[in-house]
Amino acid sequence: MEKGKKAAKATPKKTRNLEKSRKEILDAAFWEVFTRGFQGVSIDDIVKKTSMTKGAFYHQFPTKLDLGYALVDEVIKPMTYARWIDPLKTYENPLEGILLQLKNLIGKADPQELRYGCPLNNLVQEMAPVDAGFKERLQDALNYWIDGMDQELKRAKKAGYLREDINTRQVAHFVVMAHEGFYGMLKGLEDPKAFNALYDSLKRYFEILKA
């Protein structure tokens, strides 16, 4: 009985250690993939950025694809929501929040950061066309973002900031794609000033939607 108690106590600690190791690998992998592309990095490149052995890496992720899928599901998907949806909940008018988040996270971003683009968009461009598993997970991440945007636009509509005839789902889809377009253009042009033209266009679009 005593041995059983000790074993039961050891399990949570082991679980915590596995979770910590997994997070360390994913954190290292995120930056490597973000700056160099998924196909541009190797497992060795990622392991070198951690305190893990290659064996510990394979214990968590049997293949590089397993790592990539986890990167989308466990890092990029929640990170995107935290950056673009959660902050909108603090605004009485979500439309104002959308524009301010764009200005803060893209308009005021370090040009060196913008040159890498959007983590989600990068993987959509690189991996969705070549791997069905990536495509499914990236689509799910985009839909999760669009769902959150739709909920905030519904809240704006209920509060009287959007016209009654507006289809919030369509607008949410457009706004998310506009975000990704902003990143894509700024990454490709390496011209932060181009943001102003894109931002002003979205702002005028919102004026048309107002109640």
pTM, 2 dp: 0.88
Enumerate residues 6+ apart whose C-beta is below 8 A from 204.
none
15/114 same-domain check = no
For the four alpha carbons of 37, 41, 43 and 46, in that order, the dihedral sign comes to: negative
18/116 same-domain check = no
CA distances from 178 to 5, 73, 171, 188 (A): 56, 22, 10, 15
Question: What is the chain's mean pLDDT, rounded?
Answer: 91
For 140, the token pair is: 């799910």
18/101 same-domain check = no
**170 pLDDT exceeds 50?**
yes
pLDDT in tens, 78-114: 999 999 999 999 999 999 999 999 999 998 888 888 8
205/171 same-domain check = yes
Q: Residue with structure tokens 């301010």?
A: 100
Query: Which domain, by its residues, includes 6?
Result: 1-62
Domain CATH code at residue 127: 1.10.357.10
pLDDT > 90 in the chain, percent: 78
**1 pLDDT exceeds 60?**
no
194/143 same-domain check = yes
Q: How far apart are CA 32 and CA 55, in angstroms?
A: 20
Q: How far apart are CA 112 and CA 89, in angstroms?
A: 29
